[in-house]
Structure 1
C-alpha cells in the first residue's frame, strides 16, 4: 500500500453501517448520511433488486414509547434510495419523488428489519416496496418509494 494513501473520509462510517467494502471507494467521500448514523441503521444485503437493514427501536420512539412513524419512513427512504443509487451507478444520482407508508403494528423495543424489493428499475425511475418487520417476523409497516434517477 502507498505510504501516502489516505482513506476516504467516511470509510469508518461505512464500515460501522455494514456497507460492504466493495462500495467504500465509491461511497467513501459521501458516507451514509448523518440521519442514518443517528437512527442506528445498519445494512445487511445491498443490491438494487433487494436491500436489507436493521434499526433499533430505542432512541427512535415517539411520545408514548412506540417506534415513531417517521422512523419507519426514514428506514424505507434509506433502503429505497440506496438501492436506487446502486441501480443508477456512480455517475447518476437518485432523488426521492414519492414515499408513503401503512403502519400495521406498533413496536416498543427491539430491532426493526427493513427489506426493500424492487418493483421497477428503469432508466429514469426506480420504485421499491419496503417491508418492516420485528424480530419475530411480524409485519410492522409497508412503504413504497419512487426515486427519479438524474445525471450527476
Structure 2
C-alpha cells in the first residue's frame, strides 16, 4: 500500500463489525482493495463460512473503497451502501478467505464494485456486487 493510502485507511478505521470478524486489509489503492478473513469464528452450524460473513467482507471492502474514491475528490463526500447481492458458489471450512475488490464503475454519485472471495486454494467461494451512493456532508 502507498503511504497516503495506508494513512487514509488507518485514520478511517474499518469498523467494529469488521474488527470483530477478524478482517485484515492486505492491499489498498485507487484500483482495488484486498482483505482476508479467518474461517474460524465466521461459520454456520455445518462448519462452512456463513453466507452473511462473505457479505460482511464484501461490503466492508466495497464501502471502504467507495469512501476512499469519494474523499479523494472532496473531503466532504462520503459513500453509503444502497444495494448488495452475493452468489455463493463454494464453501471454505478452514484457513482464510480472501476478498479482492475491483471498481466496475465510479461516477460522481454512484460507485459499483465487484468483490471475488476465494479460499486458500484459490477456489471462488462468493461473488459480491455492491452499489454505493456518494453523498456530500452538509
- TM-score norm. by structure 2 comes to 0.89
Of 112, 127, 130, the match for 1:145: 130
Mapped to 1, the partners of 2:84 and 2:6 lie a distance apart of 27
Would you say the 8 A contact 2:35–2:61 is kept in 1? yes
Cα distance, 1:108–1:96 mapped onto 2, change above 3 Å: same
- Stretches of structure 2 that go unaligned for 5 or more consecutive residues are none
Mapped to 1, the partners of 2:2 and 2:105 lie a distance apart of 24
- TM-score norm. by structure 1 comes to 0.81
- Stretches of structure 1 that go unaligned for 5 or more consecutive residues are 1-18
Structure having greater relative contact order (Cα 8 Å, sep ≥ 6): 2
Question: What is the RMSD of the two structures over their aligned residues, measured on CA atoms?
Answer: 1.7
Task: Note the alpha carbon deviations across 1:63-87, whole angstroms, 9 max, x for none.
Answer: 1111000000000001100110111
Of 62, 66, 69, the match for 1:80: 62
Mapped to 2, the partners of 1:143 and 1:106 lie a distance apart of 14
Paired residues, number = 134
Cα distance, 1:29–1:45 mapped onto 2, change above 3 Å: closer
